[in-house]
Amino acid sequence: MKAFQEEGEVSREVLVALRRIIRAIDIHSRRLSKEFGLTGPQLLLLNEIDAAGQMLVGTLAKKAHLSQATVTTVIDRLEARKLVTRRRDADDKRRVWVTLTPEGVEILLAEPKLLQDTFLDNLRALETEEQQSILSSLQSVARMMDAEDLPVMPVLAVGPIAEPEETEDKA
């Protein structure tokens, strides 16, 4: 960019950069859906379950930064596709364990990638000061969009994960 750009030009470039980010997320989400039939949140949960071997729904919700109701909805969809199974804890029926099925393992062996995996690799390659600058700038952008208090999970994906009232933590 030029050293002395007009205010309107800077504003335009900021909007273009934001749009490119949104578009990159959208393109990746569509590719993930087309190639694997998964959403970003579904893949995130599958990866978490895979890493643990099996996981309680409540623990999964905490790790994904989602309410238990939202995770239950996503698990419903994964179970309908036969990618996970659920079973009640023998000692405490309120606790529900989630495990990958062979089909769930197979889909992960195809190595679908979350967009943030590449992003985080690139971010970690930057100097600490530049990482902090990016964080500060993005937090400022979130504040400018009145989005700093929105409940979200650490996944770059588009579309609703659940209804707004379900994303509130009900723990």
pLDDT digits (tens, 9 = 90+) for 49-90: 999 999 999 999 988 888 888 899 999 999 999 999 999 988
Q: How far is CA 62 from CA 29, 66, 156, in A?
A: 23, 6, 18
Angle at 108 between CA 46 and CA 44, to 5 degrees: 30
| Greatest alpha-carbon span in the chain | 68
Q: In this predicted structure, what is the pLDDT of residue 73?
A: 93
For residue 4, which phi and psi values (nearest 5 degrees)? Answer: -120, 85
Nearest Cα to Cα of residue 157 among 110, 104, 103, 119: 119
Closest CA to 80 of 96, 56, 113, 103: 103
What is the pTM for the complete model shown?
0.74
Q: What is the pLDDT of residues 125-163, one digit of tens each?
A: 999 999 999 999 999 999 999 988 877 766 776 654 444
The pLDDT, as a whole number, for residue 6 is: 66
Pairing of strands 54-56, 84-88: unpaired
User: To 5 degrees, how large is the angle CA 15–CA 123–CA 40?
Assistant: 75
Domains of the chain: 8-111+152-165 (1.10.10.10)
What integer pLDDT is reported at residue 128 of this predicted model? 95
pLDDT category of residue 170 using cuts at 50, 70 and 90: very low
